[in-house]
Amino acid sequence: MSIVWAILRKDLVTEWRRRDRVAAMLVFSLLVVVVFHFALPNRATDQAPAGAPGLLWLAYVFAALLGLNRAFALELENDALSALALAPGDRGWVFLGKAASSFALIGVVQAVTAAAFALVFEIDLIAAAPRLAGVVALGTLGICSVGTLFSAMAIRTRFREVLLPILLLPALFPILAGAVRGTAAALAGTPIPFEAIQLLIVVDGIYLIVSFLGFEYVLDE
Amino acid sequence: MSAAVSARGLVKRFGALTALRGIDLDVERGGALAVLGRNGAGKSTLLRVLSGLARPSAGEVSIEGLPQRGGAARRVLGFVGHATMLYAELTARENLVFTGRLLGVDDPGERADHLLEEDGLTEVAHRRVGGLSRGTCQRVAIARALVHDPQVVLLDEPFTGLDRRSADRLGARLGRLRTEGRTLVLVTHEIPQVPQLAESAVVLEAGRIVHSASAPDLDPRALEHWVLGEGERAS
């Protein structure tokens, strides 16, 4: 576990000093919210648009793609990725450290995006916040698990910016199915459907285990 | 004496390209081996396979008797790559502390301070690595590789890009590593320095060892001939 904490701490410190990854994700996701605002001009002012949960998750996924694409870029500078690969024991712990830092940074962006989204679409975020946070956390856990694995796979290829979305988006279909349903319930103030939570937990578990085990081979040259 | 680094039948392929073609070598505990050869001969690939960064297509590597496969050998191994493997946004000390945590060092802060003092880097300890000179970065990179007190240190062209003063300092540091009894495997183009840096040398060509020599027969001129592909004619 010391490897996980070491990487999480290092990534947060370097991001605090660079501020490029969170800034890029934040600006992008806020712009997406503004684009949605102008794309849906004729909605009733007293209720959120029917597609609000899907739109919110679109902003989240696009921001996460940006963030995950940068997750290993820092490690390529000065070949620091080799230092991570030389950590003793199972390289799955390196995966957990990188996934944890992505989870934390994307989480910050999601919180700000949700606030902007609520403002633009006149949603009572305070009432929905606890349930919404739970659903978003489960969805983001899945995105960061499989996203960290694919980001590490793509980073040494020439087409990494293109490869990551191509690999990642299909893998996010089951996560989005559960997350959008859960978010719709949270925004409507109704209980989160058990099937949505179950789907997210199962997919998260599968992605975490597969990524943990697969990371050993991903870091090999 | 038993071998600290042992390789048997190492083959490494990258698609259609075969970078290593059946390398066998042993480096005795406390010994120092220089790996020589022209660009593209397979020197860096050999070092990366020995370190566990690259998986061999065939063959076995053991470090201090531990099989490289599985990652246990990484605990007793220090690696200095062609690049510094340091984070530009972190200070020299933070880089060392991070590596110490990664490698499970008990008190990484104390160990980092000790290494920085030993290597005369205390003045730059709290400066970000991104603002340091190439020579200083290389010294920090070597300290980074020694954070977990490894018995075996692999170095890939550590003199590249260094000015004379930095190269002399690095040579002295490598000398200290040898007197401390660590095993060194060093890829270098500095053939005249080989007798000072190592007590044995191998010359690679197209992924094969074409010549090996040990002290006192470590003649830089003969090694140069072998590196230039004129070895058989010269001998």
Can you give the pLDDT at residue A134? 95
Cis amide linkage into residue B216, ω under 30° from 0? yes
The tokens of A115 are what? 């606030």
Across the range A169-173, mean pLDDT stands at 96
Contact A76, A155 (CB under 8 A): yes
Q: Do B71 and A89 touch (CB under 8 A)?
A: yes
Say whether B74 and A88 touch across the interface (CB within 8 A). Answer: yes
What is the model's pLDDT at position B127?
A: 96
Is any Cβ of chain A less than 8 angstroms from the Cβ of B87?
yes
State the CB neighbour count (10 A cutoff) for residue B72. Answer: 15
Best residue in B64, B76, B102 for a mutation probing chain A (most A CBs within 10 Å) = B102
Flag whether residue B166 sits within 8 Å of chain A, measured between CB atoms: no
User: Which tokens hold the place of A107?
Assistant: 């989480």
> At a CB cut-off of 8 Å and minimum separation 6, what does A8 contact?
A97, A100, A101, A104
Q: How far is A220 from chain B (nearest CA, A)?
A: 5
- The sign of the dihedral angle between the CA atoms of A158, A143, A6, A109 is positive
Set of chain B residues whose Cβ sits within 8 Å of the Cβ of A79: 81-85
Neighbours of A33 (CB within 10 A): 21
Non-local CB neighbours of B46 within 8 Å, separated by 6+ positions: B7, B10, B20, B23, B35, B187, B204
Provide the pLDDT confidence category of residue A127 given band limits of 50, 70 and 90.
Answer: confident
Which of A1, A78, A82 is the best mutation test for B, with the most CBs of B within 10 A?
A: A78
Is pLDDT larger for residue B159 or for residue A56? Answer: A56
- Mean of the pLDDT values across residues B184-196? 89
Domains and CATH numbers, chain B: 3-234 (3.40.50.300)
Question: Which pLDDT band holds residue A124 (cuts at 50, 70, 90)?
Answer: confident
Q: What is the DSSP string of B162-184?
A: --HHHHHHHHHHHHHHHHTT-EE
Q: Given CB atoms, is B54 within the 8 Å cutoff of chain A?
A: yes
Residues β-bridged to residue B202: B35, B212
Asked if B82 is an interface residue toward chain A (Cβ–Cβ < 8 A), one would say: yes
Single-letter code of the amino acid located at A190: T
What pLDDT is stored for residue A101 in this prediction?
A: 96
Give the least confident one: A93-107, A144-158, A202-216, B58-72: B58-72
Q: Do A78 and B87 touch (CB under 8 A)?
A: yes
Range(s) of the domain holding residue A177 = 2-218
Q: pLDDT class for A217, splitting at 50, 70, 90?
A: confident
Please indicate if any CB of chain B lies within 8 Å of the CB of A1: no
Name the residue facing A6 among B48, B77, B101 (closest C-beta): B101
Q: Does the CB of A221 have a partner CB in chain B at under 8 Å?
A: yes
Structural domains of chain A, count: 1
pLDDT digits 0-9 by tens, A23-35: 999 999 999 999 9
Average pLDDT over residues B133-149: 90
| B74-105 pLDDT per residue, tens | 889 999 988 999 999 999 999 999 999 999 89
Give pLDDT, residue B231: 62
Instruction: Report the residue of chain A nearest B57, measured CA to CA.
Output: A221
What is the model's pLDDT at position B226? 86
| Contact status of B130 with chain A (Cβ, < 8 Å) | no
B74, A87 contact by CB (below 8 A): yes
Residue B234 has pLDDT above 70, yes or no: no
Helices (H), chain A: 2-18, 20-39, 52-71, 73-76, 80-85, 92-120, 125-154, 160-188, 194-218
The distance of A164 to chain B (nearest Cα, Å) reads: 23
**Which residues of chain A are within 8 Å of residue B82 when distances are taken between CB atoms?**
79
B220-231 average pLDDT score: 81
Q: Determine the pLDDT at residue A195.
A: 95
pLDDT digits (tens, 9 = 90+) for A51-85: 889 999 999 999 999 999 989 988 988 899 999 99
- By Cβ distance, the residue of A79, A87, A91 closest to B103 is A87
Q: For residue range B23-80, what is the model confidence (pLDDT) as tens digits?
A: 999 999 999 999 999 998 999 999 999 999 999 999 999 999 888 877 788 889 999 9
Is the minimum CB–CB distance between A87 and chain B shorter than 8 Å? yes
Q: What's the token pair of residue A80? A: 């620091």
pLDDT in tens, A78-100: 899 999 999 888 899 999 999 99
